[in-house]
Amino acid sequence: NAGVTQTPKFRVLKTGQSMTLLCAQDMNHEYMYWYRQDPGMGLRLIHYSVGEGTTAKGEVPDGYNVSRLKKQNFLLGLESAAPSQTSVYFCASSYPPQSTGGGQPQHFGDGTRLSIL
Amino acid sequence: AQSVTQLGSHVSVSEGALVLLRCNYSSSVPPYLFWYVQYPNQGLQLLLKYTSAATLVKGINGFEAEFKKSETSFHLTKPSAHMSDAAEYFCAVSESSGYSTLTFGKGTMLLVSP
C-alpha cells in the first residue's frame, strides 16, 4: 500500500533551470495539494486541485505551475528556479469534505528536498 | 480567513513527564482541527482530528486534544512522554466551508530527555 509517492526524493538545481516534481497517489482521492516547508514557517500551500483537470492557487503560488491530467497524479513545475525556492516540498491528498461538512484528513508523501544554487 | 498559532517553537520534557503542546486558532466559521506529527526526514502523519463531534479527541500513541471554543484552543496532551515522541508537531485548521484547505501552524519541536 504505497499511499502518496513523491519523485524525486532529492534534487540540486542551478538558478534558472527548470524541473517537475511528480506526486502519485493510489487512494482514489479527489483532492491533491502541494506544500513547501521552510524552517520556522510550517507548511504553506502552493497549489491544490479538487479534481482531474482543475487546479487552484494557494498561499504561495508565485514561481510554480501545476497540472492534474490524471486523477492519481499531481505535477509541480518550476519554470526558472530561484534560490528562494530551496525548500522541502510535500504532496498530500484527501477525499473531498463530507456532505455533512466534516473535515477530511490529508495524507502526505515523504517529501522532495530541493536545493537551488 | 483562518490562522493557527502554536506557542513555543521548542518544548522540552523529561521522559515520563506530561506533554502539553499549545494551539490556538482563528476561524470565521466552525473549524475542523488536526494535529500532525513529523519525524525526521519523513512526511506528516495524522495524530488526531476534531470534526465537531466530541470535544475531547483521542488519537494515536496515547495523545489526546480538547477543543475549547471559548478559548479558541486545541491543545495536545500526553500524560507520560516517551523518547519515541521526540518529533515536530503541527496543528492545522480547516474551515467547514469551501474546499477545506488546511492552514498549518509553524510547528513545535518536542524534545524528550532521559
* Number of helical (H) and strand (E) elements in chain A, helices listed first: 0, 11
Span B53-93, pLDDT tens digits: 788 999 999 999 999 989 999 999 999 999 999 999 999 99
pLDDT above 60 (res A101): no
CA distance A50 to chain B (A): 8
The SS3 call for residue A85 is helix
Residue B41's pLDDT band (cuts 50, 70, 90): confident
Predicted confidence at residue A99, as pLDDT, reads 62
Q: What average pLDDT score do residues A29-55 get? A: 94
CA distance B51 to chain A (A): 6
User: What residues in B contact A107, CB-CB < 8 Å?
Assistant: 46
Span B23-40, pLDDT tens digits: 999 877 778 899 999 998
Predicted confidence at residue A5, as pLDDT, reads 96
Q: Output DSSP code: residue A104.
A: P
Predicted confidence at residue B31, as pLDDT, reads 83
Residue A96's pLDDT band (cuts 50, 70, 90): confident
> B90–A110: do the CB atoms touch at under 8 Å?
no
Which of B101, B106, B109 best probes binding to A when mutated, by most A CB atoms within 10 angstroms?
Answer: B101
pLDDT above 70 (res B45): yes
In a 10 Å sphere around its CB, with 0-12 CB exposed, 13-18 middle and 19+ buried, how is residue A40 labelled? exposed
> B34–A43: do the CB atoms touch at under 8 Å?
no
Residue A48's pLDDT band (cuts 50, 70, 90): very high
B89: closest chain A residue by CA: A42
A57: closest chain B residue by CA: B101
> B51–A103: do the CB atoms touch at under 8 Å?
yes
Predicted confidence at residue A97, as pLDDT, reads 76
Percent of chain A with pLDDT over 70: 96
In single-letter form, the type of residue at position B14 comes to: S
Lowest mean pLDDT among A54-68, A76-90, B92-106: B92-106
Q: Output DSSP code: residue A17.
A: -
User: What residues in A contact B45, CB-CB < 8 Å?
Assistant: 108
> B101–A58: do the CB atoms touch at under 8 Å?
yes
Residue A56's pLDDT band (cuts 50, 70, 90): very high
What DSSP line would sit under B71-105, residue for residue? GTEEEEEESS--GGG-EEEEEEEEESSTT--EEE-
| Structure-block grid coordinates of residue A50 | 479538487
In single-letter form, the type of residue at position A93 comes to: S
Predicted confidence at residue A102, as pLDDT, reads 61
Which of A45, A108, A110 best probes binding to B when mutated, by most B CB atoms within 10 angstroms?
Answer: A108
pLDDT above 80 (res B98): no
